[in-house]
Structure 1
Amino acid sequence: MSDDGELIGRCYTKARRTPLVVGSVPGGAGRSLRLPGGPYTLTQLAAIVISFVVLILTRSLWGGHGLVDIVVLLGTPVGAAFALRHLHIDGRNPAAAAASVAVMLAGPRWGVLRGRPYKPARPAHGDTLITLTAVDAPPAVLSATPGNAKQPRPAVASPAPRTGAAPVASGVQVLLARRAAAGNRTDLEN
């Protein structure tokens, strides 16, 4: 936050777009073993290892078909790595997107501000009661002539509780009372 109270956000996504890749396994005496089909991202390597281990552990469920077992055991990890190479969620690899979702779900509800969980201020709840009571106005107020432009209001706000007072007239009720008081005059019709 700057001195004037303005929040400033910075985004370093472009600098982090280049994925960390593994193209070879280091060996002894300066030699390295190049990975076939590589280089692989860390997400692809994790998918290869996890799918291979799961297939080995569940071989009793799907195995027993001879040569087909070898094709499945080698083809599934390669297929998973190929799919993850071309699958991007919002320009990011799926593991980074899944990690972002997990951090968001595990983080504080309102986010983080200055390294601490942000807690919005609780709204001040007040019980406000406004009671309108009828004013003891002369009958001339409710039955005003059409030429009189300014009229006092028939109801005012009062903090006193209402105890058996007459009902408060709304704006429409006041207009109807004026019309009834005017009688059958035709100049009020239009």
Structure 2
Amino acid sequence: MSASEEELIGHSYTRARKHPLVIGKLPGAGRLPGGPYTITQVMTMVISFGLLVMTRDLWAHFGAMNFILMALIPWGLAWVLRYARLDGRDPARAVRSLLIYSSTPAQGRLAGKPQRAARPRLATATCTVRVRSAERPAPAAAAKPVPQPAPAARRKARPTPVPAATTAGRAEPKTGLQALLASLDEH
């Protein structure tokens, strides 16, 4: 097989690198029954056991069976959470993602602070259109001297360039728009 005919094979190890942190061994090298447990499962067992202890006046009417229920219900919830997946994640991480998503500002964040869109405001501009008459000025009229500003104003104001005159007495266009306007004036 030549180098051009070589088959390329890609491997993805992302799922293998996302092993959850688990609690599964006792200090004496023994295993927990039904383990290993993820942090989500352990928190579910602790919280559900606490809720059962706090509400035992409501449900504890079974005698000795109450102690079995207080052990089986938290363990059963943890066992269900082992196999429950939302988008490939355990439910606690999915709920955390949902809470983060719902608390994020609509415009996003910039440097850790909520980004605020600027309020829209009306943009005003002035456009002046001067209509030239159909009569053309005489070539001598185009060669009038340009008045100079006063000496004090000359320092503050920028000098305006005077366009070079052509043989016809008109300024030579510098841009395509000026050339188009000049061609419209000639017609």
TM-score by length of 2: 0.51
Q: 1:95 aligns with which of 92, 95, 104?
A: 92
Unaligned runs of 5+ in 1: 1-12, 128-190
Residues 33, 14 of structure 1: CA spacing in aligned structure 2 closer, same or farther, 3 A cutoff?
closer
Q: 2:65 aligns with which of 41, 64, 68?
A: 68
Deviations 1:80-116 (A, max 9, x none): 0111011111111111111112222233232224544
Residues 32, 91 of structure 1: CA spacing in aligned structure 2 closer, same or farther, 3 A cutoff?
same
Contact 1:17 1:92 (8 Å CA) reproduced:
no
Q: State the distance in 1 between where 2:123 and 2:17 align.
A: 49
Match of 2:169 in 1: none
TM-score by length of 1: 0.51
Q: 2:83 aligns with which of 83, 86, 94?
A: 86
Q: State the distance in 2 between where 1:49 and 1:14 align.
A: 28
1:56 is displaced (CA, Å) by 1.2
Q: 1:105 aligns with which of 91, 102, 126?
A: 102
Letter in 2 for 1:51: S
Contact 1:48 1:80 (8 Å CA) reproduced:
yes
Deviations 1:37-95 (A, max 9, x none): 00001000000111111111111111131232122111101110111011111111111
Q: 1:49 aligns with which of 46, 49, 52?
A: 46
Is 1:18 the equivalent of 2:15?
A: no
Q: State the distance in 2 between where 1:14 and 1:104 align.
A: 23
Q: Secondary structure at the match of 2:53?
A: helix
Aligned residues: 112
Deviations 1:4-24 (A, max 9, x none): xxxxxxxxx758632111112
Task: Mark the structure with the bigger radius of gyration.
Answer: 2
Q: State the distance in 2 between where 1:82 and 1:74 align.
A: 12
The higher relative CO (CA closer than 8 Å, separation ≥ 6) is in: 1
Deviations 1:114-170 (A, max 9, x none): 54433334444459xxxxxxxxxxxxxxxxxxxxxxxxxxxxxxxxxxxxxxxxxxx
Unaligned runs of 5+ in 2: 1-13, 125-187
Q: State the distance in 1 between where 2:16 and 2:80 align.
A: 24
Letter in 2 for 1:20: L
Match of 1:37 in 2: 34
Q: Secondary structure at the match of 2:97?
A: helix
